[in-house]
Chains A and B, each alone.
Chain A
């Protein structure tokens, strides 16, 4: 039997990254196929190519036995490939029926035939078990119901292949069950489903085959009945860790500097995609690098922002050096000696319109200010010069626009901004995102030095090798909760991936 979809030798590069290299994917009619991989493995890029949102640099796509070209989203739809994104593509102020048939409304003359529209919508939503008045507004539906509207839309377009990007991420247990029944029904009608998820137990239950990507390359495909979760995890992480540990440096774990107790942040209750933090407790010690690991959406960044006072919390306590402190704003956190290097350098840390000097000194101006609020130019320049040397920031002059620096040097400027405040706790979210290998190494060594100088360093990283290299101890998170804690010598990529994707503690 020829496969429904055959993707061969697909490559796609973006400026600075090769997202996919020679990837293949084969999907059979009527199967549920899981597409798996770590953060950044290339899953999203592949999905977007199938949806017509990206065009591949090389490679061929065969659909239904014919070679096809998917240049635009409309091409994918015409073929019967429908993609359901995590953030749905629905128009919230329109009704269920209008959404299902958007752009394809039945008409009578120049007018929409409302009766026919609602009747047809009712038929197709009933088929998947959404028994609801099709005239209801989509914005009043739950996430699960909105997802069903998306699936109904796919059915009404006579989809042959439905691609779902993390469809279960925002669903409750019972809603997931219902989704699986719908998928089974789609399969029974010969419709193939490609399913991206981080939850491997779901893969084992709902899917027939898996394809695993790693670093933009194909690792392999397998029948689900032939493999175990451990095999999948090995396929997902399987690379050698080139760099491990502090290269002979020994961590001297000092006193507890930061203690977080039962921190909870539910975020916007109406936002189905809000990443939550649930009852998180942890401690960070002077001289130690604490790693926080987890997949995208696990709540790591949200935890960091909540500790730092960047987002309000619902409950929980933060203690600095044993004293409970009230942190409502970043100013409070800074006063108590906590710093945060945020994950998105350009959006959250840098002042791209300003030069290096004001960028570096921005948080430390209080200490540089003399009478009448004047900033001491000489002390400021001396400060910048000190950190230029200490962090070997490569720059032509202090007055150079910060945007002209390389990513690694920009990151050093942001780190220096915090070091100038002599923090007790420094939280670094994605310390080396988007910077090259050499600079990455420098930043890693810098973090080691900071820990040695007695700062409690907390590192959040989506890259497991980085986490394993930097952290003396790793706390893992999944869906806003802490799922485990490993010392560095216990941690491996496999054991971490278990904790990232399962609830129970694996050792």
Chain B
């Protein structure tokens, strides 16, 4: 998975240990962490538990894929948790046959609804539109991404609260919940593979192909690495910047739908704090907050790493409060490493 961005060779063609370390640090860290948890608690390595970890991270993972595009352009999106809630409620309302019927329950409830395909489509459209709106504010109104999406975080949460009107929307038909709770196929030794895990991995492959092999992906790296040089090389910097927020919005919409399917319920407080975990996953996976550096492979590893950390700490009876402290520390350390790596590049 050698990327265009990080290679292990030096000026003389020799091996640059630091470069190799920067590329594989997340993977090494993940393996070490898994080793420690397996030693502390052998149940950790059971296939059932590992599949469970993957299912837990798959929604964070979908969001992290979109966030990788955003952070590659040196941007940030804090609004994703709110968009997840907003889009999930939109899907739920469609499934229930509109806002008027949203609290309907019982046998006749599903008769009123529109079925999961439309629900999913509406969730994705809502998310994509939210992303486009923020992309517009960032590229046309020249408001920094941090501020725009901080505003979005509040505004979309408010929209979600309005839509929910106080309570959760629950109880969908099996076609809907299959997207969050179902299994697609069974693998020998591992067992049944949950649908969200398959969706996450498919999108990861797609995102990897786009970033590594297409002109668009190259432009994303270019705009993130040096926007001025990108502009002077004839790249459409504004369009590219806009597009990453649209992609992020798409992923947030899809995630909102899958989360509501998994919980068989959509509520306005869904997705709270997701932005922190998702940004942490991307940064731990080696994507630089300064832009221009990062891979989907790293993001997948970073996402699993966070999931393993949470799962392992739970299995070892560590308080969720302590988990938050540990995740906070890891983010700061990952960024400190990134800053150090950047100063090394500058001197090169």
Q: Write the residues of chain A forming the contact surface with B, with a CB cutoff of 8 angstroms.
A: 308, 310, 329-331, 333-334, 340, 342, 347-355, 357-358, 361-363, 365-366, 368-369, 372-375, 377, 396-397, 399-401, 403-405, 417
B218 on the interface (CB 8 Å rule)?
A: yes
Say whether A351 contacts B221, CB under 8 Å. Answer: yes
Say whether A400 contacts B232, CB under 8 Å. Answer: no
Q: Mark B211-225, 1 if CB is under 8 A from A, else 0.
A: 001111011011011
Residue numbers in B under 8 Å from A340 (CB-CB): 232
Given A330-B231, A366-B215, A375-B218: A396 and B13 within 8 A (CB)?
Answer: yes
Say whether A353 contacts B11, CB under 8 Å. Answer: no
> Which 5 A-B pairs have CB atoms at the shortest separation, nearest pair first?
A396-B13, A353-B292, A351-B225, A403-B348, A334-B234
Give the distance to chain A from B2, nearest Cβ to Cβ, in Å: 7
Say whether A396 contacts B229, CB under 8 Å. Answer: no
Q: Which residue of B lies closest to A333 (CB)?
A: B234
Say whether A401 contacts B7, CB under 8 Å. Answer: yes
Residue numbers in B under 8 Å from A348 (CB-CB): 226, 228-229, 232
Q: Which residue of B lies closest to A349 (CB)?
A: B229
Say whether A349 contacts B218, CB under 8 Å. Answer: no
B12 on the interface (CB 8 Å rule)?
A: yes
Residue numbers in B under 8 Å from A373 (CB-CB): 214-216
Give the distance to chain A from B347, nearest Cβ to Cβ, in Å: 9
Query: How many A-B contacts if CB must be within 8 Å?
Result: 120
Residue numbers in A under 8 Å from B12 (CB-CB): 396
Say whether B229 contacts A355, CB under 8 Å. Answer: no
Say whether B234 contacts A397, CB under 8 Å. Answer: no
Residue numbers in B under 8 Å from A396 (CB-CB): 9-13
Q: Which residue of B lies closest to A405 (CB)?
A: B11
Select which of B4, B9, B219, B345 is within 8 A of A397 by beta carbon: B9
Query: CA separation between A396 and B11, bound complex, in Å?
Result: 7
Say whether A365 contacts B219, CB under 8 Å. Answer: yes
Say whether B225 contacts A352, CB under 8 Å. Answer: yes
| B contact residues, range | 35 or more
Given A352-B225, A354-B221: A342 and B232 within 8 A (CB)?
Answer: yes
Say whether B288 contacts A358, CB under 8 Å. Answer: no
Say whether B4 contacts A355, CB under 8 Å. Answer: yes
Q: Which residue of B lies closest to A351 (CB)?
A: B225
Residue numbers in A under 8 Å from B234 (CB-CB): 330-331, 333-334, 363
Q: Besides A348-B226, A353-B288, 9 other CB < 8 A contacts?
A: A342-B232, A348-B229, A351-B221, A351-B222, A352-B226, A353-B226, A355-B7, A374-B215, A396-B12
Give the distance to chain B from A311, nearest Cβ to Cβ, in Å: 11
Query: CA separation between A375 and B217, bound complex, in Å?
Result: 10
Chain B CB within 10 Å, residue with most, of A354, A373, A405, A417: A354
Query: CA separation between A354 and B345, bound complex, in Å?
Result: 11
Q: Mark B227-252, 1 if CB is under 8 A from A, else 0.
A: 01111111110000000000000000
Say whether A363 contacts B233, CB under 8 Å. Answer: yes
Given A334-B234, A351-B292, A353-B288: A399 and B9 within 8 A (CB)?
Answer: yes
Give the distance to chain B from A335, nearest Cβ to Cβ, in Å: 8
Residue numbers in B under 8 Å from A355 (CB-CB): 4-5, 7
Given A365-B215, A372-B214: A358 and B345 within 8 A (CB)?
Answer: no
Query: CA separation between A84 and B132, bound complex, in Å?
Result: 48
Residue numbers in B under 8 Å from A334 (CB-CB): 234
Query: CA separation between A103 and B222, bound complex, in Å?
Result: 45
Say whether A401 contacts B222, CB under 8 Å. Answer: no
Query: CA separation between A348 and B10, bound complex, in Å?
Result: 23
